[in-house]
Structures are given as structure tokens and as C-alpha cells.
């Protein structure tokens, strides 16, 4: 450098945010033959600096990753740092395969690499992202999220979590947007867990759909009292009614017949108590009691006491409607043959039939009615969980979720939505039926035609179903 001071003064006219003290130290270092002054300049800035005619100043071309979709699939794609190294999402997954290490060691060839194809359908992803962001705004919620899974292959077709960020400028939205709540956040999933309690009770053979349980009065256990939210239902309930009316008492009594040890064994098989395996690096481990006492078993049966990620809840739900095969979720294309080969049977086919029946019942007569889309027959289970504040459950703060499948007569896709701490909802109510369920409806009605699902109309209501068949 001929004149360091003059060079810095000239550069500052083109680069207003130039750290002059830092650059002065770098340019004054006699032993250094190279130093970065500013990276990722615009072509205009480069031209302006060239016209300054500063000796010793040069340029190196660099590649910069650009995400034309912005925040649409931010938590799936992730982003890269200034050196194009993956920091999060599938960007980081790719680099974790060893590509970045090989490149740094100079061992890569100049051959063109094939683009990495994801399982994501960008049309569906756009819809899901739109609904999730809209729910967060319209229901004035702390956060929201949704995922669409192919139950036959385990492919994630779309997934979104809000708040989110723009991978073109990750720092702009702040750290709260970086958290992918679908896979890296754990929550008590509330009554959606009754789906799994029902499945394990039926699969053991100790409970059938023809059984009834006494729900005439609250269940008292030690110093705890278990109530039903539908207080007017104080009577004996059949198993389908327990599911339809989301009875805590009935669910607790069913699981109590099975026992905590078998319950824990099944929930582990469903993948709800262990860290989920998938390509995304951002996956959080579930939490559960160190010792499962009877009270833990009872509360877990209806979704309190175990925290899991929404994505693994959807994956477990897919296993219960696809015939009983648990398939690890993947963000890469996978055929049905590959999925079947790697899948693990977790319940009998007859148990899966029963869950589909219960989903359909709840979708037509229960809390899932607000998720239904004419012609596409959505079934599922709502979950409204009170959140823990200072060690106590606060009924004013809810985590709402809806676990759905469609078309329910022959499920092809599972959709799970959640809405965290909504302050309003449809009909000014904040339960899952007025927040998470409408999110499913808004997603399915838009994506079903895109996915080639043919609508069916006519007499196919639940009244024609024969419980004895299951």
C-alpha cells in the first residue's frame, strides 16, 4: 500500500459502514500479503472502487447463495454463511456429508454436481407457509406450524413454522425466527395423544370398540382429580364416544387396564419418546418422567406429562392410519418400496382400521368438523393443552394442535397443525377446534387438487359405518 490513510479515506466514500480502524490495522501489517476488506460487494461498488485507482486493491469473484422463495421454506432449506458453508437445515445436512471438508482440503474435482432434489412440493409448501403465517396473525398467536406427510412413503411434502426468517438475510428477523418449532420444539400435545392411547389399548386386545367405561364422575388418584371438559357427558361412554367427546376419564381408564409399562413400550415404538431420525440437523429430543408412576401414566394418556415435537407426532399418526407401519420422515424423495423396506410395524392392520374409523367419526360428528373439506373427507383429533407457567397449568394459555388424515377412507396424507397461545379464533374461541382445525381445512382445500386427490361426494357418512367390523 502506497498510502494507507488515503486508501481508507477513499474506500469510505464507497463503503459507508467501513470499520476504518480495523481496516487500517489490516493494511498496515507489513507481514501480511493478503487481507479481506469487504466481501459481497455489488457490481456498482466494484466499479466505483476501480475508478478510485488505489494501488494494491483487487477483487476476487465469489459465489453467493440466493433463495428466490425467501422465507417460504426457510426452516427446511436453512441457510449458509459468507463462505457458503451450511449453517442450518438441508444446507447443513449437505455439508455434514463431508462435501465442505473435501472442498477445504482441495480434494474436489471441477466436475458439475447434480442438484439435490427434495421431497418438498413447492406449490404445497407455499400454501402451508401462507396458512401458518396467516394463523399466527389472525389468531394473534405466539407461534404456529404445520406439516404435510405422505403416509405411504414418509416424505415430507411441506412443512412450515412461524415466526420464521429470510435465508437471504437470516439476521434481519432475530433469533426467535430461527427456531423450527416443528422439529426442534417440544410441546405437550394434549388430546391428540389420545389417538396413541386408543391405539395401544386396542392393539393389546384388552380393549375393543364395543367396550364401555364409567365416566359418570371425576377420577381421583392420590391428591389429583381428573375431570372431563365435557362435564355434561357424565355417563358410561363407549370407546368411540370416549374418542369423539375426548374423555380424559375414559382414556385414563382404558390405559390403566393396559398398565404403564406397556404404555411406555408402545409410545416408544411409536417414536414419541426418543429423538426422531431425519435429515434435518435441528431435531430436539422428547422429554418424559424419569419414573413412570401411575399418575404419570394417567396424565400422559391424555397428553400431559410428555413433550414431543409436532413432526414426530405427525409421523406416529401416519403409522396409525397407513396400516400400522412407522416410516422415518424424510426430506428426500423416497419410493413406497423403499419406505416399506425400511418401515417398522408398530400396530396390527386391524388397529389401524379402528383408528381410521375413529378419525372419521370425530371428523364428522366431533371436534374435527371444522377441519372437514367437502369431497375430501378429513378425519382427525384435536388437542387443546394448557401450558405450564411457573410450575402450574394455566388454562388461559393453550397449545392447540390438530392431527388429521385425508381422504380418511383411504388416507394418503397426514396433516398436523398447531397454534401456540392463540388469543382469538373462529367464533372468538381459542380451543383447537377453532384454531388448529380450521388451519387443516384451509390447507387441505387448497392442496388436495394439487396432489391429485380426487374428491368424492355422495352417501358416505359415518352413520353407515359398522363398529362390529373393527
Return the H-helix or E-strand segment holding 157: strand 156-162
Closest C-alpha to 415, from 269, 279, 270, 315 = 315
CA distances from 302 to 19, 198, 241, 350, 468 (A): 57, 10, 15, 22, 26
Contact 350, 199 (CB under 8 A): no
| Catalytic pick among 161, 183, 191, 307 | 191
> Where does 322-376 have alpha helices with state H?
336-342, 349-365
Alpha-carbon distance 32 to 103, whole Å?
25
Examine the residue annotation and report whether 161 is marked as an active-site residue of this protein.
no
Contact 8, 54 (CB under 8 A): no
Alpha-carbon distance 32 to 99, whole Å?
30
Grid cell at residue 93: 445436512
Alpha-carbon distance 74 to 180, whole Å?
9
* Residue environment code for 249-283, b if the CB has 16+ CB neighbours within 10 A, otherwise e: bbbbbbbbebebebbbebbebbbbbeebebbbbbb
Active site residues: 191
Amino acid at each position: 500500500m502506497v498510502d494507507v490513510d488515503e486508501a481508507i479515506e477513499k474506500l469510505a466514500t464507497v463503503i459507508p459502514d467501513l470499520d476504518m480502524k480495523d481496516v487500517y490495522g489490516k493494511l498496515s501489517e507489513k507481514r501480511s500479503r493478503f487481507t479481506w476488506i469487504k466481501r459481497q460487494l455489488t457490481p456498482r461498488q466494484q466499479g466505483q472502487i476501480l475508478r478510485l485507482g488505489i494501488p494494491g486493491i483487487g477483487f476476487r469473484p465469489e459465489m453467493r447463495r440466493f433463495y428466490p422463495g425467501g422465507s417460504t421454506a426457510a426452516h427446511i432449506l436453512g441457510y449458509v454463511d459468507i463462505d457458503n458453508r451450511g449453517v442450518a437445515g438441508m444446507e447443513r445436512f449437505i455439508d455434514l456429508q463431508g462435501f465442505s471438508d473435501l472442498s477445504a482440503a482441495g480434494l474436489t474435482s471441477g466436475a458439475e454436481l447434480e442438484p439435490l432434489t427434495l421431497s418438498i412440493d413447492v406449490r404445497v409448501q407455499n400454501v402451508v407457509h401462507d396458512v401458518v403465517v396467516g394463523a399466527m396473525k389472525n389468531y394473534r398467536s405466539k407461534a404456529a406450524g404445520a406439516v404435510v406427510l405422505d403416509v405411504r412413503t414418509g416424505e415430507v411434502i411441506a412443512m412450515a413454522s412461524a415466526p420464521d426468517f429470510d435465508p437471504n438475510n437470516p439476521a434481519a428477523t432475530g433469533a426467535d425466527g430461527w427456531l423450527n418449532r416443528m422439529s426442534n420444539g417440544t410441546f405437550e400435545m394434549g388430546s391428540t395423544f389420545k389417538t396413541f392411547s386408543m391405539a395401544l389399548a386396542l392393539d393389546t386386545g384388552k380393549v375393543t370398540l364395543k367396550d364401555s367405561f364409567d365416566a359418570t364422575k371425576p377420577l381421583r388418584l392420590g391428591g389429583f382429580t381428573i375431570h372431563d371438559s365435557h362435564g355434561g357427558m357424565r355417563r358410561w361412554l363407549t370407546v368411540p364416544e370416549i374418542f369423539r367427546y375426548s374423555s380424559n376419564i375414559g382414556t385414563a381408564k382404558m390405559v390403566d387396564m393396559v398398565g404403564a409399562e406397556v404404555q411406555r413400550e408402545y409410545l416408544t415404538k411409536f417414536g414419541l419418546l426418543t429423538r426422531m431420525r431425519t435429515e434435518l440437523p435441528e431435531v430436539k429430543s422428547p422429554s418424559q418422567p424419569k419414573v413412570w408412576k401411575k399418575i404419570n401414566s394417567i396424565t400422559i394418556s391424555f397428553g400431559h406429562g410428555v413433550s414431543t415435537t409436532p413432526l414426530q407426532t405427525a409421523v406416529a399418526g401416519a403409522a396409525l392410519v397407513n396400516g400400522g407401519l412407522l416410516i422415518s420422515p424424510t426430506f428426500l424423495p423416497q419410493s413406497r418400496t423403499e419406505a416399506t423396506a425400511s418401515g417398522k410395524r408398530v400396530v396390527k392392520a386391524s388397529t389401524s382400521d379402528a383408528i381410521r374409523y375413529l378419525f372419521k367419526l370425530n371428523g364428522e360428528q366431533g371436534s374435527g368438523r371444522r377441519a372437514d373439506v367437502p369431497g375430501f373427507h378429513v378425519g382427525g383429533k384435536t388437542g387443546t393443552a394448557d401450558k405450564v407457567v411457573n410450575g402450574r397449568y394455566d388454562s388461559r394459555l393453550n397449545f392447540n394442535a390438530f392431527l388429521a388424515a385425508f381422504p380418511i377412507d383411504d388416507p394418503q396424507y397426514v396433516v398436523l397443525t398447531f397454534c401456540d397461545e392463540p388469543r382469538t379464533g373462529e367464533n372468538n374461541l381459542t380451543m383447537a377446534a377453532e384454531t388448529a382445525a380450521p388451519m387443516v381445512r384451509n390447507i387441505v382445500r387448497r392442496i388436495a387438487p394439487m396432489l391429485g386427490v380426487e374428491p368424492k361426494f355422495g352417501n358416505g357418512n359415518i352413520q353407515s359405518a359398522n363398529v362390529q367390523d373393527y
